[in-house]
Amino acid sequence: MSHWLMVETHADPLGTIRQILKTIWRNGQLECILTPTNGSAELKQAPYLLYSPDELEDFNPFKPLMTSNTARFVPALLHEQQKPSNIGAILRPCELRALKGLERNNGLRTNGLLTICFDCLGTYPNEDYIWRTKRKGSVEQLTQEALQFAKHGGIVPYRFRSACQVCESPASEGAKVNIGVIGLPIRQSILLMFPERQDINLLANSNLRIREADSKLIEQHQITVAKINERNQRVSERIRQGMADVLPLSIEQLVDSFIECGDCQKCMQVCPLCAIELPMRSDSGQYLIEGIVRWAESCAGCGMCEQVCPRHKPLSIFFAYIRDQLKQESIASDKSSKSTLL
């Protein structure tokens, strides 16, 4: 059972979130925190590793930019630790899905990793981000624009990266600490959700105004998230219809589509699901179906592969389509097996 709290923001949601994270750092006795963004305008290709709570003053979880998937750096960070230590990782929803995929498919052990996830309000293509930052005058102003529309589910979605437009879900869930802003009057309050009740102790002895969440506020958040998910699904279906002549209709066709890529592998090099092991090839150089199936099934939808593809392939749509096909086949297979048993 999930446990929900409401935190008053006093018209400063960013400042409140930073205070929440500092409190979690202290109570969780963390040595460092891996974060996807900071407050600068730079297009850095790697996340930030912070070693002091004071560095969180520049942390900006809602900066509308994504240049890498933070989950890709978690395996190496955990491996580098010479002794057991408490590490924090702040992740977007798609980054958390990728981390879960690494745990499931590659046996990644995340003992000692405290995961924190926040609702994602969407990210721009790199070029648009640069232009909009200059137009607004600063990253802070661009962020405030995004937060202004958080209650309504964000700004017009067609401005975002294609992966964000067809995102499976922008809601934070599945981490030890989940920060909710979608559908909420964030200048008044935000939501915190803890899957395990004991993790609420991470907020002990803080100066924050915290209380049990109002059921109406939780419902408002969930309804808005559901609407976004439905909208993204419609967008995905519309895009697929327009790309019917180029979509790989099977996993075999997806494997064949990589033949023309030769030895590129740029998409795999940025994919967090390939951080531990790249898909294997046969002696002829063709990728083995088993590896591509695992890759496609666990696709987190972050769109990093599409972002670096020199051929500009719509890989987000390709993988989302094949992932759905594999899920449908799995469901059909389960039903068939149950029917046989009966």
Predicted confidence (pLDDT) per residue in 175-211, tens digit: 999 999 999 999 999 999 999 999 999 999 999 999 9
Domain-terminating residue out of 238, 268, 302:
238
Question: What integer pLDDT is reported at residue 284 of this predicted model?
Answer: 85
Domain-terminating residue out of 212, 238, 264:
238
Question: What integer pLDDT is reported at residue 334 of this predicted model?
Answer: 61
Residue 182 sits in the same domain as residue 326: no
Q: Is the dihedral of CA 302, 296, 74, 206 positive or negative?
A: positive
Instruction: Tell whether 284 is covered by a domain.
Output: yes
Instruction: Tell whether 339 is covered by a domain.
Output: no
Residue 229 sits in the same domain as residue 268: no
Instruction: Tell whether 341 is covered by a domain.
Output: no
Predicted confidence (pLDDT) per residue in 287-297, tens digit: 998 888 888 88
Residue 255 sits in the same domain as residue 195: no
Domain that holds residue 303: 243-334
Q: What is the DSSP letter of 44?
A: -
Residue 216 sits in the same domain as residue 258: no
Instruction: Tell whether 273 is covered by a domain.
Output: yes
> If you average pLDDT over residues 211-228, what whole number do you get?
96
Residue 209 sits in the same domain as residue 248: no
Question: What integer pLDDT is reported at residue 294 of this predicted model?
Answer: 86
Residue 198 sits in the same domain as residue 78: yes
Separation of alpha carbons 92 and 16, rounded Å: 18
Domain-terminating residue out of 211, 238, 265:
238
Instruction: Tell whether 216 is covered by a domain.
Output: yes
Residue 37 sits in the same domain as residue 183: yes
pLDDT band at 48 (very low <50, low <70, confident <90, very high): very high
Question: Is residue 342 scored above 60 in pLDDT?
Answer: no
pLDDT band at 100 (very low <50, low <70, confident <90, very high): very high
Given strand 210-212, what is the order of strands in its sheet? 48-50, 32-35, 87-91, 113-118, 177-180, 189-194, 3-8, 210-212
Number of domains in the chain: 2
pLDDT band at 156 (very low <50, low <70, confident <90, very high): confident
Residue 147 sits in the same domain as residue 260: no
Residue 156 sits in the same domain as residue 286: no
Residue 257 sits in the same domain as residue 227: no
**For residue 250, which phi and psi values (nearest 5 degrees)?**
-150, 165
Question: What integer pLDDT is reported at residue 178 of this predicted model?
Answer: 98
Residue 307 sits in the same domain as residue 199: no
Instruction: Tell whether 148 is covered by a domain.
Output: yes
The helix-helix angle for 139-148 and 13-27 (nearest 10°) equals: 100
pLDDT band at 44 (very low <50, low <70, confident <90, very high): confident
Question: What integer pLDDT is reported at residue 224 of this predicted model?
Answer: 96
Predicted confidence (pLDDT) per residue in 254-284, tens digit: 888 888 888 899 999 999 999 888 888 888 8
Mean pLDDT of the chain: 90
Residue from 210, 208, 211, 180 nearest 193 by CA: 180
Instruction: Tell whether 255 is covered by a domain.
Output: yes
Residue 200 sits in the same domain as residue 299: no
Question: What integer pLDDT is reported at residue 248 of this predicted model?
Answer: 87
Predicted confidence (pLDDT) per residue in 103-155, tens digit: 998 889 998 899 999 999 999 999 999 999 999 999 999 998 888 889 988 77
**CB atoms inside a 10 Å sphere around CB 80:** 7
Amino acid sitting at position 312: H
pLDDT band at 41 (very low <50, low <70, confident <90, very high): confident
Instruction: Tell whether 133 is covered by a domain.
Output: yes
Specify the range with the lowest mean pLDDT, choosing from 9-13, 213-217, 313-317: 313-317
